[in-house]
Amino acid sequence: MKKIGVYTSGGDAPGMNAAIRAVVRTAVTKNIEVIGIMQGYVGMIENKMTPLLMRDMANIIQRGGTILKTGRSLEFLKPEFRKKASENLKSAGIEGLICIGGDGSFRGAQALFSEHKIPVIGICGTIDNDVFGTDDTIGFDTAINTALDAIDKIRDTADSHDRVFIVEVMGRNSGYIASHVGVAGGAEEILTPENILPVDKIIDRLKESRLRGKTSSIIVTAEGQKPGRAYDLADAIRKKSGLDAKVCILGHQQRGGSPTAHDRILASRLGSAAVLSLISGKSNMMIGNRGADLIEVSLDIVTKNEKHGDVTLIQLAKTLSV
């Protein structure tokens, strides 16, 4: 294998640049040329590709986002556009791909492998940590620390005004960010896709807290199918209980910022391992981790299963917030 391609797809995540850097520098040391594909599957279809050299990787490990840009392509869902993408890749001399993204991105990579026999290795990069088969994903640690920093500041004003604050974090279909931030931030209640509670039960918990002498409360909620559900919850709490409930939606700031040391190290390990796996002849695999060990998991397994949030953390938060 003399030339490989690397691309980032789907939502951006802090640490993607560290993964790109690891891919390029590991490949170059093996005398393999690396082509960067811009904007994920959009770049494949539109033939937006550029060589990546050693010097291009200087001073990117600390940068958030992705130097290759990213995007979501509805066209790529159609076979004729996947065929066009494969033709562009083969015309560029690309013999294998490294896909950095989540399970949606991996499904696209699977299609290229199954339909056009292009070898592909996946690296799990998403702040939601919702990829099956791996303990961690690139960007998750940075996202929860960004959210935690905000909650620590919100707690100061919640305490000053004796208020309930509902903090909405990202995680449309996954409660990983909410559950981890909730425990670390001392939340009284954590609402996730795995832990949906009626408003009356939340109000009962808040009233119990007041009776115990607490004057302010933090509720952490995952955003749901669309951002802004926290406003509906706050209105319901105000109307049914009279408590002063305020909302803070953290939004896309959780995707940005300089990656933590954990995410830089994880991305570096996964990126290097992905190159070694690809040039050893493996394909249709994801590189993930189980504890301190790196593992290879078939993309067929990854994309056919769901990774559910850890409800034990939600129970722990309730126990510790008394």
Q: Which residues are catalytic?
A: 128
Distance between CA atoms of residues 165 and 314, nearest Å: 18
Tokens of 42: 């959009």
Tokens of 81: 């556009």
Tokens of 33: 């040329």
Task: Pick the closest to residue 15 from 137, 149, 169 (CA basis).
Answer: 137
> Distance of alpha carbon 131 from its chain centroid, rounded?
9
Task: Pick the closest to residue 96 from 119, 70, 78 (CA basis).
Answer: 119
Tokens of 63: 């940068």
Can you give the length of the chain in residues? 322
Distance between CA atoms of residues 133 and 300, nearest Å: 11
Contact 10, 102 (CB under 8 A): yes
Contact 310, 176 (CB under 8 A): yes
Contact 285, 297 (CB under 8 A): yes
Query: For 102-236, where are the E strands, in sequence order?
Result: 120-124, 164-169, 189-191, 217-222
**Residue 158 burial (CB count, 10 A):** 21
Backbone angles phi, psi at 315, to 5 degrees: -65, -40
| HSE-CB of 273 using CA atoms within 13 angstroms | 20
